[in-house]
Amino acid sequence: MLNVGQLNEGFVLDHIEAGKSMMIYNNLGLDKLDCCVAIIKNARSNKMGKKDIIKIEGGLDLVDLDVLGFIDHNITVNIIKDGEIAEKKRLSLPAQITNVIKCRNPRCITSIEQELDHVFILTDEEKQIYRCKYCEEKYSR
Amino acid sequence: MKHLLSPLDLSVDELNDLLDLARDISINPKKYSHVCDGKKLATLFYEPSTRTRLSFEAAMINLGGSVLGFSSADSSSASKGESVSDTIRVISCYADICAMRHPKEGAPMVAASKSGIPVINAGDGGHQHPTQTLTDLMTIRELRGSLDNFTIGLCGDLKFGRTVHSLINSLIRYKNIKFILISPKELRVPDYIIDVLRENNVEYSEVEKLEDVMSQLDILYMTRVQRERFFNEDDYLRMKNFYILDKSKMNLAKKDMFVLHPLPRVNEISVEVDDDPRAAYFKQVQYGVYVRMALILTLLGLDKEIQ
C-alpha cells in the first residue's frame, strides 16, 4: 500500500466508490481549503475491490456532510484524533439539499429566474428519489 | 399565511369544510354577496386562460369584491424582466389575495414564499391546477352525494393531463374508489401515479377502449387526445374513435353515471351528448365558480364570519 503520511488531527472519507473522489473533491469545495488534503485513488479494499479515499487535515466543519450524504451515503467518515480513529460516522441521505444539483426541467421556474436557489427534497428514502421543490421533477443521477 | 399551491395542501377535513361552504354558497348565493366588500383579488395571468381567469373574477365579484390584474405576460412588468418575487411584493400592496397562472412550474410557490397576501395557484405549466381539482371534487360530491364508493373512468390523454394526475392524487384519500384508466398505450398515466395507486392499495385497471368499460362507470372523466401526441398517424387513425364519446357509447352507460370534462372540449365529446342529463361538464363550470368563492373566503379568513 502506498504510504501517504499519517494524519494526526482531521478526518478521512473512506469507502468512496473508485473514481468518484474528484467529483467529491469538487462538490465539497475542497479546492478552496488551505489545509492539507490527500486523495488516494483505487486503493485496495476487501469490501469493494478498490476504492477512493480522501484525507483532510482539519475539523469536520470544513465539509458539508449533507452534500456528501447526497453524493454517496455509503461513504464512511473517520474522525482522527492523535493519529487514531476517534469516531466513525455513518452518513444518511439529507432531507433537503440546496444548490448542489440543478433542476433540468426547462419548464421549471428556476430555468428563468437565476437568483432562485435550486432546492431538492428527498421524497422517497427507500428509492432515494429527490424532487425539485418547485416543479417536483425527479432528479436522475 | 395560507396559500393554495397543490390540491394536497388541504387536508381531507379542510377540503370537506371548503366543499360544505361551496355548497352553502350554491344554495344561498345572496347571503355571500357582500362578504368581500372592499376586498380586491389580483389575477396575475402570465399566460392567457380566459376560462380560469373569468371564473376567479366572477367568484370575487359574486362576493362583493373587485378585481385587478393582467391577462398575459406582455401586459405585465415581466416583459421588462421583473422577477415573480418582486412582482408579488408589489401586488401585495395593491390587493388582498391573488390568483396566479404562470407557464413555468413552481412560479406560484416562489410567489407564495415572498407574498404578503394569500396566493392561489391558477395553473403552473404542466404541474398543478388545484382549483380545477377542487371543481372536479365538488362536482362529483354534489352529483353523487359523497366522495366515497364509486368507479371512475379517466379517459384520453392520461400521460400529459395534469388535471387527471391531481384528481387521482386527491381521490385516493377517499374510501373504496376504483379507477379505470382508459387511454392508448402511448398516453398511459406516468409510472409514479401507478406507484401511488399501488402503495395505497387502490384498485385500478388500464384499458384501451372506452366502450369496453362504459357499463362499469359511475363517473366518466373525459380529456382530449391530441393527434400530435401519437407516434404515428396510423395509430391515431386506428384509435381516435375509441376516445370520442357519442350517443352510442352513452347507451352502454349506467342511467346514473355522470360525464365530466375540464373543458375546453374539441371533438372528444360529441355535441349530441350535451342534452343527455348525465352530461355534467357545464354544471362543472358553475361549481368551479362556487368552489373558488369558497376558497377566496377561506384563504381570507372570512369563512367563519358568515354563519
Enter the C-alpha cell of residue A129.
428519489
What one-letter code names the amino acid at B75?
S
Cβ atoms A7, A53 nearer than 8 A: no
Q: What pLDDT is recorded for position B28?
A: 96
Per-position b or e across B232-264, b if 16+ CB within 10 A of its CB? eeeebeebeebbbbeeebbeebeeebbbbbbee
pLDDT band at B266 (very low <50, low <70, confident <90, very high): confident
Indicate which of B104, B121, B162, B165 best probes the interface with A, i.e. most A CBs within 10 Å of its own CB: B104
Per-residue pLDDT tens over the stretch B190-239: 888 998 999 999 999 999 999 999 999 999 999 988 776 666 788 778 77
Which residues does B244 contact at the CB level (< 8 Å), separation at least 6? B267, B268, B269, B270
**B110 and B141 share one domain:** no
B99, B19: one domain: yes
| Average pLDDT of the residues of chain B | 93
CB contact under 8 A, B85 and A113: yes
Chain segment A29-54, per-residue pLDDT in tens: 999 999 999 999 999 998 899 999 99
- With respect to residue B1, please indicate whether it lies within any of the assigned structural domains: no
Residues B31 and B154 in one domain: no
* pLDDT at res. B97: 98
Rounded Cα gap, residues B4 and B130, in angstroms: 7
Q: Three-state SS string across B4-66, please? A: ECCHHHCCHHHHHHHHHHHHHHHHCHHHHCCCCCCCEEEEEECCCCHHHHHHHHHHHHHCCCE
The pTM (predicted TM-score) of the whole model is 0.89
User: At residue B151, does pLDDT exceed 70?
Assistant: yes
Q: Do the chains contact at B106 and A115, CB–CB below 8 Å?
A: no
Nearest CA in chain B to A129: B192
Chain A residues close to B83, C-beta within 8 Å? 113, 115
B265 given a catalytic annotation: no
Instruction: Please tell me the distance from the alpha carbon of residue A107 to that of residue B20, in angstroms, as a whole number.
Output: 36
Q: Does B82 touch chain A (CB under 8 A)?
A: no
Catalytic residue among B39, B40, B43, B52: B52
Whether B20 and B95 map to the same domain: the answer is yes
Is B51 marked active-site?
yes
Kindly state whether residues B169 and B245 are assigned to the same domain.
yes
Residue A92: Cβ within 10 Å count: 12
Is the pLDDT assigned to residue B290 strictly greater than 80?
yes
pLDDT the model gives residue B186: 83
Distance CA A134, CA B145 (A): 35
Residues B143 and B279 both lie in one domain:
yes
Average pLDDT over chain A reads 91
Q: Is the pLDDT of residue B250 over 80?
A: yes
Which of B85-89, B145-149, B223-227 is least confident? Answer: B223-227
What percent of chain B is modeled with pLDDT above 90? 79
Nearest to A109 among B84, B126, B192 (CB): B84
Mean pLDDT along residues B172-191: 93
Q: Is B127 a catalytic residue?
A: no
SS3 A112: coil
**Strand, helix or coil at B253?**
coil
Same domain, B55 and B164: no
- Measured between beta carbons, which residues in chain B are less than 8 angstroms from residue A113? 83-85, 110
User: For A64-97, what is each residue's pLDDT tens digit?
Assistant: 999 999 999 999 999 999 989 999 998 999 999 9
- The β-bridge relationship of strands A37-45 and A49-56 is antiparallel
Q: B236 with B139, same domain?
A: yes
The answer, yes or no, to whether residue A14 has pLDDT greater than 80, is: yes
Task: Give chain A's length.
Answer: 141
Can you tell me the ipTM of this complex?
A: 0.87
The angle at the Cα of A84, spanning A83 to A89, to the nearest 5 degrees, equals 125
Residues in chain B: 307
**Range ranked top by mean pLDDT from A75-84, B75-84, B133-142, B262-271:** B133-142
Q: Are B125 and B114 in contact (CB under 8 A)?
A: no
CATH number reported for the structural domain that contains residue B105 in this entry = 3.40.50.1370
pLDDT value at residue B307:
62
Q: B98 pLDDT band (50/70/90 cuts)?
A: very high
pLDDT at A1 over 60: no
B271 and B140, same domain (yes or no): yes
Per-residue pLDDT, A2: 56
DSSP for B72-86, written as a single string:
SGGGSGGGGT--HHH
User: B200 and B67 share a domain?
Assistant: no
Q: Catalytic site residue B101?
A: yes
Residues B154 and B272 in one domain: yes
Pair (B118, B176) in one structural domain: no
Q: Is residue B92 part of a domain?
A: yes
* pLDDT-derived band at B267, boundaries 50, 70, 90: confident
Contact at 8 Å (CB) between A117 and A79?
no
Task: Assess if residue B2 is contained within a domain.
Answer: no
- Measured between beta carbons, the chain A residues lying within 8 angstroms of B124 are 109, 135
What total of structural domains would you count in chain B? 2
pLDDT digits (tens, 9 = 90+) for A113-122: 989 999 999 9
From B97's Cα to the closest Cα of chain A, the distance in A is: 21
C-alpha A134/C-alpha B287 separation (Å) is 29
Q: For B21-33, what is each residue's pLDDT tens digit?
A: 999 999 999 999 9
Q: What is the pLDDT of residue A4?
A: 64
B126/A107 touch (CB, cutoff 8 Å), yes or no: yes
Test the A interface: residue of B88, B102, B105, B193 with most A CBs within 10 Å? B105
CA distance B272 to B259: 13
Residue of A127, A111, A110, A128 lying closest to A119 (CA atoms): A110
Cβ neighbors of A48 (< 8 A, separation 6 or more) are: A15, A17, A18
**Any A CB within 8 A of B162 CB:** no
Which range marks the domain in which residue B53 is found? 7-128+287-305
In a domain, B245, yes or no: yes
